[in-house]
Structure 1
Amino acid sequence: MNARFLCVFIAGICWALLGSSLSHAADASPIARDIASAGSLRMQAQRIAKLYLQLGLKVGEVAAQRQIDSAIVQVDAELRRLDGYARKPGVQRTFGRCDAAWQELRQVVVRQVSRSNAERATQLAEELSIHAGKLAMQIEAEAETPVGRLLDLSSRQNMLAQRLARLYMQVQAGDQSQGLLVDLEQTRKEFASGLSAIESAAESSPASRDALVLAKNQWVFLDAAVSQLRVRSADGRAARDVASSSERIQEMLAAVTAQYLLDYPVARSAR
């Protein structure tokens, strides 16, 4: 079985699993869905910045633009879902910062790509990821089960994968500063460590472990592509590999998170 066929085969399984999980998403408790929504904000911030850099690099431009448009719609929907936190003491400031960072990022990524716009997009992606991460932690503090922690951790893994790909695109765009290279390597290590933490969690169900296996398999592709960091082939293949593998791992980690959404009420009832 060649690598391309294997990748398509794994992706097909993942889509089936994700579709099955999302079809029952309404079964998840509101607080679990809120944790997942905050996690989605954190991930999409990095993903949108990555896709915007792809436009500048002319890497899968048509697909990248379509994905940006779709992600914008999704982030808007997640913020509407979470807007009750805009009036909740102790959380409203964090929500407000998420919203402010998103509104500016949204404006930047619909403009024509330029060096200054790309730099601002990456800055805002970092800001939104930080604020959304804090929001997820504040919501998680109200959870009644360790599955809330796993929900946050799985969505953080998705953010790290997108951040890794975004940092890679920055290097390919010409920024090879030592700080950026160190940041990229640290993100790789954090992802590997987080994957191990999820895998060893006692609260993971057999279904969530199955979803995680697919994500781990896809991580091999992304990690291999990123390892070719300083390779910029004339046909842009290295960057295209990172772009495609990061999108696939995004889908697969979304399936892991979706499964934890289903596991959350089960874990609560078992307490």
Structure 2
Amino acid sequence: MTYTLQRRVFCGFALAALAPVHAQVAGLGDAINKAGRQRMLSQRMAKAWFGLGLGIQAESARRVLDQSMALFDRQQVELKTFAPAGETRDTYVQLESAWSDYKGLLVGAAPSQDKARAVLDQAGKVLALAHKGTALFEQQAGKPGAKLVNIAGRQRMLSQRMAQFYLASHWNVDSAASQKEIGKAREEFVPALELLRNAPEATTEIKQELALADNQWLFFDNALKARVSSHKAASDVFVSSENLLQVMDRVTGLYARVLG
């Protein structure tokens, strides 16, 4: 599949696929899925913000940012309501505050390089709290399958994190540090695919989706390795990261369904 076709597929349906199935959290499997999706959205919003600032896939970037913010808002309410009192509830109270600060950076003014570092920093703070919430829900589930939902969900985040830092580097925002973060994420992403594929809980449907993920990863990884100074390469990174995200979102949902 060529990048041209990839781009056409992305524009056609990719964004709508991330809408949550349940209006409320249906159980711990769903909680881990949605909590992990918040991690991904923290990085996806920054990616879209950088895309807007750079003029990379600008129309799609605006749609991604708007829909991601709306989805984060909705899931934050659902997860905070579902979270039991104590550390989990406290984590989502803290996340609510960090999200408010992050949202303030993302809206109200056009993206600019002077705000780019602050956006990356706040995206990291939201990510850390969302990750903590996901881990707490995994602990509450107390089943081996819960870890697989968490890992599959983390793959979604890593796809967006690599794209976020690629675009940051393209905009000359801490280029060396950004390239280092891409390398770290890549080193985590590849073995996690193998773990998910070889897990006893992996159904035939999950393995079929992971085969698709392998193909999407090849497109994405090739785009990441292209010259950061190339506008086309940055566009390919944006598009291929969205396509990989869709597959890993389906994998996470399937593992969540196995957990129940």
Q: Normalised by the size of structure 1, how large is the TM-score? A: 0.85
Q: How does 1:219-230 map to 2 (within 5 A)?
A: 219-228=217-226, 230=227
Alpha-carbon separation, structure 2, partners of 1:100 and 1:67: 22
CA displacement, residues 78-116 of structure 1 (integer Å, 9 cap, x when unaligned): 011112266611222221221111111112111311223
Query: Residues 147 and 11 (structure 1 numbering): CA distance in 2 closer, same or farther, change over 3 Å?
Result: farther
Letter of the structure 1 residue corresponding to residue 255 of structure 2: Y
Letter of the structure 1 residue corresponding to residue 218 of structure 2: V
> How well do the aligned residues superpose, as a CA RMSD in angstroms?
2.6
**Equivalent residue number for residue 245 of structure 2:** 250
CA displacement, residues 170-193 of structure 1 (integer Å, 9 cap, x when unaligned): 110013543332222111111112
Alpha-carbon separation, structure 2, partners of 1:86 and 1:142: 10
CA displacement, residues 41-78 of structure 1 (integer Å, 9 cap, x when unaligned): 10000000011011111101111111111111100110
Letter of the structure 1 residue corresponding to residue 116 of structure 2: A
Moved over 4 A (4+): 4-12
**Equivalent residue number for residue 212 of structure 2:** 214
Structure 1 residues 183-192 or 238-247, which shifts more? 183-192
Structure with greater Cα Rg = 1
**Equivalent residue number for residue 235 of structure 2:** 240
Structure 1 residues 43-52 or 174-183, which shifts more? 174-183
Alpha-carbon separation, structure 1, partners of 2:47 and 2:26: 31
Letter of the structure 2 residue corresponding to residue 148 of structure 1: A
CA displacement, residues 237-256 of structure 1 (integer Å, 9 cap, x when unaligned): 11100000011111111111
Query: Does the 8 A contact of 1:85 with 1:91 survive in 2?
Result: no
Letter of the structure 1 residue corresponding to residue 86 of structure 2: P
Query: Does the 8 A contact of 1:10 with 1:214 survive in 2?
Result: no
The reply to whether residue 156 of structure 1 matches residue 158 of structure 2 is no
CA displacement, residues 148-197 of structure 1 (integer Å, 9 cap, x when unaligned): 11111111011011000001001100135433322221111111121121
Match of residue 133, structure 2, among 131, 135, 138: 135
Structure 1: tracts of 5 or more residues without a match: 266-271
How far did 1:5 drift? 7.5
Q: How does 1:192-207 map to 2 (within 5 A)?
A: 192-207=190-205
Query: Does the 8 A contact of 1:146 with 1:203 survive in 2?
Result: no
How far did 1:8 drift? 7.5
Query: Does the 8 A contact of 1:41 with 1:75 survive in 2?
Result: yes
Query: Does the 8 A contact of 1:151 with 1:261 survive in 2?
Result: yes
**Equivalent residue number for residue 101 of structure 2:** 104
Letter of the structure 1 residue corresponding to residue 97 of structure 2: A
**Equivalent residue number for residue 124 of structure 1:** 122
Letter of the structure 2 residue corresponding to residue 118 of structure 1: A
DSSP-derived class of the 2:141 partner: coil
Identity %: 28
Structure 2: tracts of 5 or more residues without a match: none
Q: How does 1:9-28 map to 2 (within 5 A)?
A: none
Number of residues paired by the alignment? Answer: 255
Query: Residues 85 and 117 (structure 1 numbering): CA distance in 2 closer, same or farther, change over 3 Å?
Result: farther
Alpha-carbon separation, structure 2, partners of 1:204 and 1:10: 27
Alpha-carbon separation, structure 2, partners of 1:124 and 1:194: 26
Q: Normalised by the size of structure 2, how large is the TM-score? A: 0.89
Alpha-carbon separation, structure 1, partners of 2:54 and 2:254: 35
